[in-house]
Amino acid sequence: MSSTSDLPSLGSLEFLPYINDAGELPEQLQNQIGIYAIFDESQVLQFVGYSRDIYLSLKQHLVRQPEYCYWVKATTIDKPDRTFLESVESAWIAENDSTPTGNAEAKSAWLDPISTNHAMTAAESDSFEDLDGLAQIKLLKQVARRVEETIFTKLKQRGVTAEIRFNPKLKDRGLLDLK
């Protein structure tokens, strides 16, 4: 663990595979407070964030943006310190010479629950307003399950074996987020 006084620069940290040969995310980051940087397959910086549990945050990002999660750099601290972590986040972005899209225009895609409304067919979308409340909920769950299956397929193609469970209570609102 790093103390807040000796945090390394982004460039000095080693790349860790986002998904190891066993299909798991970096387990050494479970229950670790700190800051992390996510890179695509070509090791281009996509997102910088901080968390009270880096591992869980990496899992969330993987289901939200699987096509951009191939490499990670991370460092941990002993105690949560939002001000410090925000300053390190800014320093790492500055060190990169440009703001990654995940920290700019695509920030909500990295941080917010997945809205599945875009996956409705034209017929589903057209009929949605005419349905009663229960039928709308049923339709939203159905669409959410379709999107969930698409995500699981992508993760399986990447070799992910880590347990991924979506919160079932959000599906009736057309949202997907990990439990």
Same domain, 103 and 61: yes
- E strand intervals along the chain: 16-17, 33-39, 45-51, 71-77, 114-115, 175-176
Q: pLDDT at position 179, please? A: 87
Sign of the four-CA dihedral 133, 135, 139, 141? positive
Would you call 168 helix, strand, or coil by DSSP?
helix
Same domain, 78 and 54: yes
Count of CA atoms in the C-beta half-sphere (13 A) of 161:
6
DSSP state of 37: E
Structure tokens at 134: 């229960």
Question: Is 96 domain-assigned?
Answer: yes
Question: Is 4 domain-assigned?
Answer: no
DSSP assignments along 50-95, one per residue: EESSHHHHHHHHHHH-GGG-SEEEEEEESS--HHHHHHHHHHHHHH
Same domain, 75 and 123: no
Mean pLDDT for the chain overall: 94
Rounded mean pLDDT of 101-130? 95
Question: Is 32 domain-assigned?
Answer: yes
Question: Is 1 domain-assigned?
Answer: no
Residue 130 has pLDDT above 90, yes or no: yes
Rg (CA), the chain: 18
Q: pLDDT at position 16, please? A: 98
Rounded mean pLDDT of 74-93? 93
Same domain, 18 and 100: yes
Rounded mean pLDDT of 1-5? 47
Question: Is 14 domain-assigned?
Answer: yes
Same domain, 99 and 147: no
Phi, psi of 69, deg, nearest 5: -105, 85
Neighbours of 121 (CB within 10 A): 10
Tens of pLDDT, residues 21-79: 999 999 999 999 999 999 999 999 999 999 999 999 999 999 999 999 999 999 999 99
Which of the four pLDDT bands, split at 50, 70 and 90, describes residue 1? very low
CA pair distance 179, 164, nearest whole angstrom: 8
Residues in the chain: 179
Predicted TM-score (pTM) of this structure: 0.91
Question: Is 167 domain-assigned?
Answer: yes
Residue 131 has pLDDT above 50, yes or no: yes
